Amino acid sequence: MGLFKRWILCFLAFKFFVPKPVSSSPEALAQIPVDFLDLSKKPEIADYMIGIRRKIHENPELGFEEFQTSKLIRDELDHLGIHYKHPVAITGVVGYVGTGGPPFVAIRADMDALPLEEAVEWEHKSKVPGKMHACGHDAHVAMLLGAAKMLQEHRHELQGTVVLIFQPAEEGQGGAKRMLDAGVLKDVDAIFGIHVSTLYPIGTVASRAGPIMAASGFFDAVISGKGGHAAIPQHSIDPILAASNVIVSLQHLVSREADPLDSQVVTIAKFQGGGAFNVIPDSVTIGGTFRAFSKESFIKLKQRIEEVITKQASVQRCNATVIFNTDERPFYPVTVNNEELHDFFVNVASDMLGAQNIKEMQPVMGTEDFSFFAEAIPGYFFYVGMKNESQGPLALGHSPHYKLNEEALPYGAALHASLATSYLLKNQLEAKLLKGNLHDEL
């Protein structure tokens, strides 16, 4: 969309859709994100989110087991008077704020924890042994509830419906796919997702247009030989030797078959076999992940992994079976940010934070099941900074030493609310322009 058309839309937005008295100007539209940020920093919103986040942090639940987290969310939505659907994908919750009719825009939070023992000693440490919120999903839920609270207070000003998606099982189990299959994005025009980040300063956001995170898949392989005594290896067929050669050969898929400009990764992270120092086992199990930044490269990499494992094992007189268990661990697609939504995000975030605080991030080989949503409809995923140099370094996600800077909560909530509100307004105006209903005014 050209700059002039964008200015006209801004003008018409406030001329026809914002309750009076409001200035009919682009400056007034730009004020929406600022007002939401100011509101989210007030104690009634900021303290509310901190309390929610700490309750969830103390009681972490793994994927598809988020029953108490789901109940907390539903209790809060009940208190706010927000209609919702439950259960969706076992523990998921989908709320609705606004007119109840089109256009629809979705904002999403994941809510599962990780199987880690928390090593951070603080008042609200995990009360569940072996489970911890070590990736910020507790904050994501709190920010979405904070946004829901603000949006509900301004529901009569919304030009459509905001869909609140509280999603289970992001960490490897593909909860987003289950929710997508359940129809949560029916009639939804766009979806936005947030992740907190220890890499960017507080008050900044980071993202990019196009591919932002890789596709990924898991695999296991059982390599079978013939066990025997270590002193007489000639009477055995050694699966450990075969597995070792397989692992080395798999690394050549990236170093010698992939285009150096096409990022790919194959990692073997599991090697299980044998239980004695002097006995060659009958079989060995290896497992790992593979990642790529395009669908074509991902499919080819999967094919070659299976070929290399089975054929390299046969060179060592072993048999191999490769298992891609997509029922339990679905392949995650590439996370691709819609280009038009990127421009829209930059405009809204710049109004809120200043253009200097919008960071262009490099693509990363990590994965995110938000990709299922963004593959189905236009989607946009971004990071909210929470680094504060005066508070010392923060551990990266998936660490037992992970700590969250709660000062980031208002920024996430305000961005959720601002993006949803502004998108509905933009969508409604563009629809009217296409129908020619505003021809005379133009």
Burial class (CB within 10 angstroms; exposed 0-12, middle 13-18, buried 19+) of 11: middle
* The two three-digit tokens of residue 435, written as one number: 């129908």
* The two three-digit tokens of residue 125, written as one number: 């440490």
Is 401 annotated to bind a ligand? Reply is no
Burial class (CB within 10 angstroms; exposed 0-12, middle 13-18, buried 19+) of 166: buried
The residues near 134 (Cβ < 8 Å, ≥ 6 apart) are: 113, 114, 116, 118, 397, 398, 399, 400, 402
Evaluate whether 332 touches 369 at the Cβ level (below 8 Å).
Answer: yes
Residue 38 region by backbone torsions, left for phi larger than 0, else alpha for psi between -120 and 50, else beta: alpha
**Is the backbone peptide bond immediately before 333 cis, with ω within 30 degrees of 0?**
no
Strands 335-337, 210-213: pairing kind: antiparallel
Strands 188-201, 205-207: pairing kind: unpaired
Residue 66, phi then psi, degrees to nearest 5: -80, 50
Q: How far apart are the C-alpha atoms of 337 and 339, rounded to whole Å? A: 6
Q: How far apart are the C-alpha atoms of 375 and 370, rounded to whole Å? A: 9
Q: Is 413 helix (H, G, I), strand (E, B) or coil?
A: helix
Q: How far is CA 348 from the centre of its chain?
A: 20
Is 398 annotated to bind a ligand? Reply is yes
Q: Is 405 helix (H, G, I), strand (E, B) or coil?
A: coil
Is 135 annotated to bind a ligand? Reply is yes
Is 195 annotated to bind a ligand? Reply is yes
Q: How far apart are the C-alpha atoms of 396 and 197, rounded to whole Å? A: 8
Q: How far apart are the C-alpha atoms of 357 and 382, rounded to whole Å? A: 13
Is 235 annotated to bind a ligand? Reply is no
Known binding-site positions for Mn(2+): 135, 137, 171, 195, 398
Known binding-site positions: 135, 137, 171, 195, 398
